[in-house]
Every structure is written in structure tokens, then in C-alpha cells.
Amino acid sequence: MENFWLSVKEFFASPLGEFVIQLLIAILVLAVGWVLIRWLLKLLNRSKLARKMDKSAFTFFRSAVSITLKVVLVLTAASILGVSSASIIALIGSIGVAVGLAMQGSLSNLAGGLMILIFKPFAVGDYIQPQDTEGGTVKDISIFYTTLLTVDNRTIVLPNGDLSNKPLENYTKMDKRRLDMRFSVGYDCDIDAVKQVMQQVIDAQDKLHREPAPFARLREQGDSALIFEMRSWCNTEDYWSCYFDINEQMKKAFDAAGFNIPYPQLDVHMVEPPAAPSERS
């Protein structure tokens, strides 16, 4: 037994043993530090700063804090293993150059995230429609990526570089939107009667704004129908409810008034070919 403890003592006194001790301490620091970072991030989420700060800016700030703390933790573990500060700095510099060349897209996303944070083309909670991508509600803006939630509860993750460099539509940036709708009736319908029925349907909508006043007018004379357009304003959050309600009620009002809904029509004229020379003789 004495020989066993003597051999253990000699092992930990050797360079290999010292390295094993340093390795165990570094692993312990990593484990404890990781838990502490998660605890600090949760504490940050419940802090007064999270309540006072803009939500989009806070998510970006939280992501930056998380990455910084994790980098510091890894460097601390490396120093415990005996890696000198000069070596760490030189290593970071070399890795930075290599990573900068290999991750130009990620750096573009980082710059894009900063541009989004500064100029605020959208914020958490806005519904946006990026170019060539399905739209959704902004749930999170991190350093490199923005997360959208679609209307059917799917998650879309988009790089910030693309969002900051390509056109996008923000449907909820303003507090009100104009509602444009078109309706078609047959050419035999009286124009004034159609406008009167449409105006009655519009006046019955309590969610539409009265200023500017909504109106209904004949927009164009189509190939097989008279096309009327209705324009009105409503709160952004009421846009789709107004759209569906008016669409349904307008159809019922047209049916009650006896307006026919036209279908595309095509007149075909049959022309007989000229008779052959033998037939003319």
C-alpha cells in the first residue's frame, strides 16, 4: 500500500503528472465557467437593462456578451495549461487572419447585424418580407443571424448580411396601412348602384378609419367586366381581419343587389376557307 501511494506521489510530481493536474483544473474551470455564463445570461434577461433597452438591441447585445465570455473562458483554460499570454496573442492573431479569410460571409453578417441595430429597418416583433424569401415575424436578432417565425409556426434563419444588403418590406413598421381591394361586376350593372352598395359595406366596417375617407370608384373597363376599386385605411393589426370581412360581406351584398359576377368570355368567329379552283369551276 505504501508503494502504491509512493508511486502516485511520484507520478504527480513528474512533468506528466503536473500536466494532468493542470488539465483537470482547466476542465473544471471550463465546466464551472460554462454554468456561470449561462446563469449570468439568465440574470441579464431578467435585469432592468433588458426591460429598458430596445428589444432588438438587447438580443444583439446579449449574443455579443455570450460570445465574449466564452472566448475569455477558453483563453483562461488555455493559460492554466501553461500557454503563455504572448503565445495566446500570437495564436489569436494568426487564427484571426485565417478565420477572417475563411469567414468573410460571417464577417459580412456581423457588419449587417450592426447596420440593422443602428439603422433599425426592422425590430423584434415586426412582420417583414425579405427579397426571394418567405416572410415572417422577427423573433430574434443575433450577431450573425435573424430568426423569423412564419404564420404557420415555422422558423426561418436568415443571415444579417443578406438582410442589410437586399430590399425587404416591413409590413408593421407603421401603425396604419391602406387597404386596396378590387371587385368585378358585369357590364350590364349600373355603375352608381354598384358604388352605392360598396359604400354601404365600407360604412358598416367599424375598424376602418374615417379620415382619410374610404371610397369606391370604377377603376377600369376590363375585357369582360367592370372593375371597381375600394381604398380605405385601418390599423396595421386590423388589416387582415378587415380584408376578409369586407371580401365576404361584399360578395353577399352583390348577390343581394342582383349584380352578376362575370367570367372571362371569348367570342369565336368561324370563317369558311375559300373554295378550291376545281370546286369554283
Domain of 158: which CATH number? 2.30.30.60
Residue 158's pLDDT is 92
Residue 86's pLDDT is 64
- Residue 227 inside a domain? The answer is yes
pLDDT at residue 265 is higher than 90? no
Domain of residue 193, residue span: 176-257
For the chain, what is the domain count? 3
Judgement on whether residues 26 and 97 belong to the same structural domain of the protein: yes
Percent of the chain with pLDDT over 90: 37
Residue 204's pLDDT is 93
Query: Which one is predicted more confidently, 259 or 118?
Result: 259
User: 180, 261, 193, 253: which is closest to 219 by C-alpha?
Assistant: 180
- Residue 138 inside a domain? The answer is yes
pLDDT at residue 233 is higher than 90? yes
Residue 252's pLDDT is 94
Residue 83's pLDDT is 67
Residue 263's pLDDT is 75
CA distances from 228 to 164, 186, 189, 193 (A): 38, 11, 12, 12
Alpha-carbon distance of 49 to 66, in angstroms, equals 16
Judgement on whether residues 197 and 158 belong to the same structural domain of the protein: no
Judgement on whether residues 81 and 29 belong to the same structural domain of the protein: yes
Which of 102, 128, 159 terminates a domain? The answer is 102
